[in-house]
Structure 1
Amino acid sequence: MSIEAQARPRRRRRTPAEARREALTEARTLLLSGGPDAVTLSAVAGRIGVTHANLIHHFGSAGGLQSALMGSMVHDLASAIQDAVERLRTDDGAPLEVVNAVFEAFSAGGAGRLAAWIVLSGDLSHLEPVRIAVQDLVKAIDTKIGNGDRLPPKAIGAAVLFIALTAFGEALIGPPLRDMLDQDEDASRNVVAQLLPGFLAKNSVSS
C-alpha cells in the first residue's frame, strides 16, 4: 500500500500558518519513512486533506516545500545541539555524557537523514544555524573535558568532528550495521567515549 493510500485526510478549516505547520509535520514524516523522493506536494496534500493547488499557494513548488522542510529541521537540529551544550555546561558526567549529548542531537527528529539530504542537494547554506551551534559545542566541550588546561581550538574542533561523524554514521546506518556485527545499541557511543580522552591528548600535543 502506498504512503498516499495510508494517509488519513483531515479536511477542516485552518489558518495559513496552521496549514504550513501541518504540511511540514507530514513532510517530515514522509522524509523519515520514505526518503527525500517521498516528499511530494501530492503526498503531503493527501495526508493533511488539502488540494495540490493549495500547497502550491503556501510553498510555491515542491522545491519550496522541501526547502521549508530543510529550514524547519535544521532549526530543530540547531536547538538540539544547543540543548546538548547546556547539558554539558551543567551535568557532571564526561566524556560519555559529551558523546551522548552529540549522538542524541544528531538522531533527534531525523537529523542524520536531513544532513545527508542537504549535502546531496548541494545547497549547504541551510546548515548555517548548525555551524553556529557547533561552534558553541566546541566551547562547551573545551570547558567540560579540558581538565583546567586550555586545549588548542584545533584539538577541540577535531574532537567534535570525530564525535559528529560517528554520530552521523550511527544515525544513517547504525542499527543494521550493529546487527551485522552483533553489537549492543550503545556500542558506537561507548567506543567513542573510550577513545576521546586519548584522541584529545594526542591532538593537544600535535596542535
Structure 2
Amino acid sequence: MAGAGKAKDEQAVRRRRSPDEARAQALVSARKLLIAGGPNGLTLQAVAQDIGVTHGTLIHHFGSAAELQSALMGAMVRDLATALETAVAHVRSDARAPRTVVDIVFTAFDEGGAGHLAAWIALSNRYEHLEPVREAVVDLVAALSEKVLTSGDDPPRHIPSALLLITLCAFGDAVIGGPLRGMLGRDRDAVRRLAANLLPALIE
C-alpha cells in the first residue's frame, strides 16, 4: 500500500505538462545552459537531460535544435526589450535615472544573459533577431532627451552615442569582463561603476 501511495505521489509530481509549459521549461533550461556553457553547450540532448524529458519530446515541441535556438533568441530578445522599457520608465520618474539605466542595462547583459545572446547572434550572423529591441532603444534615447529637457537645457545630440558606449561596456563586461578584471585586479562592479560615472557627464 505504501508503495502504491508513493507511486501515486511520484505520478502527481510527474504530471503531464501542457505544450506551453513544456516549451517554457525547455527555454528556461536552454537559457541557463547558454549562460553557463555558451552556444556549444546548448543542445537538445543537454536540455532534455536537464528537464527530465526525452530527446524526442523536445523534437515534438520545437521541431529541431535550430528552432529551439530561434525560440530562445526570441525569448531573450523580448526580455532585453522589456529591461530597456523598464529603464525608460525609470528615466521618466527617477532622479537617479543615469545610475538606474546603467544598472538595468548591465544586469540584463550579465545575469539576464543578453551578453551571451548578443555574442551568439553576432557569431551566427542572425541579426534579424535583434529587431524587437530597436523600438525599446529608440524610446530610451527619447526618455533621456526628455529628462535633460526638463532641466531647461537642450538635449545633447550625443545621447545615442552615450547609450552605445554604455551598452558596449555592458556587453564586453558580460562576455569577457571576468578574465580581464582578474588580470587587472579589478572587482566585479568596476566597469559598472565606471559606466555609471561616465553617463551623467555624457548626457548633461
TM-score class normalised by the smaller sequence: 0.7 to 0.9
Deviations 1:103-130 (A, max 9, x none): 2232242111011111111111111111
Residue 133 (str. 1) matches residue 136 (str. 2): yes
Number of the residue aligned with 2:154: 150
User: In 2, distance between residues paired with 1:46 and 1:125?
Assistant: 30
Does the Cα contact within 8 Å between 1:77 and 1:108 map onto a contact in 2?
Answer: no
Q: Where does the alignment leave 5 or more consecutive residues of structure 2 unmatched? A: 1-12
Q: State the secondary structure of the residue aligned to 1:109.
A: coil
Deviations 1:141-186 (A, max 9, x none): 222345432325x411111101111111111122222222122333
Matches within 5 A, 1:22-33: 22-33=25-36
User: In 1, distance between residues paired with 2:17 and 2:97?
Assistant: 47
Q: CA RMSD in A?
A: 2.0
User: In 2, distance between residues paired with 1:175 and 1:159?
Assistant: 23
Inter-CA distance 94–21: structure 2 relative to 1 (3 Å threshold): closer
Number of the residue aligned with 2:92: 89
User: In 2, distance between residues paired with 1:79 and 1:94?
Assistant: 17
Residue 49 (str. 1) matches residue 52 (str. 2): yes
Count of residue pairs the alignment pairs up:
191
Inter-CA distance 193–29: structure 2 relative to 1 (3 Å threshold): closer
Choose 1 or 2 for highest CA Rg.
2
Residue 162 (str. 1) matches residue 161 (str. 2): no
Instruction: Name the % identity.
Output: 58
User: In 1, distance between residues paired with 2:184 and 2:173?
Assistant: 13
Query: What is the TM-score when the length of structure 2 is the normalising length?
Result: 0.84
Number of the residue aligned with 1:15: 18
Query: What is the TM-score when the length of structure 1 is the normalising length?
Result: 0.83
